[in-house]
Amino acid sequence: MLEKGTQAPDFTLQDKDGKEVSLSDYRGKKVVLYFYPKDNTPGCTNQACAFAGAYNEFLDLSAVVIGISKDSVASHQKFAEEYKLPFILIADPERVAIEAFDVWQEKKNYGKVSMGVVRTTYIIDENGIIEKVMKNVKPDTNAQEILTYLRK
């Protein structure tokens, strides 16, 4: 995992609409960058819906929400449409940002070891510096924990 106080690595990847998005596009704003394993799985859907439900609160705090997984643009588009997700979803099938942010790691699930995305949220300040790192977050409470932190 990257550490608090580190410059966030820039990336340019496609969003759910196939539009190129760079992290540096959001300099001057607080960015909530969350990495999740897979579209349309129970935990990831709960997490995305929690962000969607709190989206106006993030806007009120001038925070940009960006979700990233290794799913395709088409998968993200269907996921966003089905659950009415108003925030940016970025496709990273080549794991460019996923590896740059060091969230591609060994995971254990029911005794089986595999590589995958560790559910992690980074809060990046207006200058592109990582302000907070939240590791192994809980999908149901992540959005509210971030809002509580941002309101301080």
Instruction: Report the distance separating Cα 94 and Cα 136, nearest Å.
Output: 22
Residue 44 among the catalytic residues: yes
Instruction: Report the distance separating Cα 30 and Cα 149, nearest Å.
Output: 12
Residue 108 and residue 41 in contact, taking contact as beta carbons nearer than 8 Å:
no
Residue 122 corresponds to which tokens in the numbers above?
Answer: 């980074």
Catalytic member of 8, 44, 65, 117 = 44
Mind telling me the catalytic residues? 44
